[in-house]
Homo-oligomer: A and B are copies of this chain.
């Protein structure tokens, strides 16, 4: 942030009174601009022993496979956001299940919340965000072509849990290479 979004004056980084962190402060109108982590919501879309993955049609990681997900929008619950993102990336309306995994990525100020979901229709298809949408079993999973670190972590966990038939919530913290 360089300019105040309320009055257009230049902002300065400083620790406001009664605070202990540097914020973007406007010395003209007095507004303090806070920046906080964002929530990424998504699903593990399941049918029998297969997971529905999306081949990314957008950067970053164009052409890599991922679980459907994206930024939670204002006015949504986390589950609604995960459902919407899955619809936008796979064209199918899943049956939402339980929260399955939380991934903290503190270096980029993101928190991922991943839900189990059942694929209940056969109408999945590519979208403007996905070049291809396809089911993979564990044996044919494209492990070397997955988009983000959370994807193989979630999928490996899932296939272990799926053999047992229990899907406890797990929390992970992903440290990015500097």
Residues of A in contact with B (beta carbons under 8 Å apart): 1-11, 18, 21, 24, 33-39, 71-80, 99, 102, 104, 106-107, 109, 111, 128, 169, 171, 173
Contacts and interface: CB of A to CB of B under 8 A. Distances in A.
Contact of A7 (B3, B7, B78, B80): B3
| Copy count, this protein chain | 2
Contact of A8 (B8, B36, B38, B128): B8
A102 B39 CA distance: 13
Contact of A106 (B39, B71, B77): B77
A106 B79 CA distance: 11
Contact of A71 (B34, B75, B77, B111): B34
A151 to B, nearest CB: 19
A16 to B, nearest CB: 13
Given A99-B102, A171-B99, A72 B5 contact: no
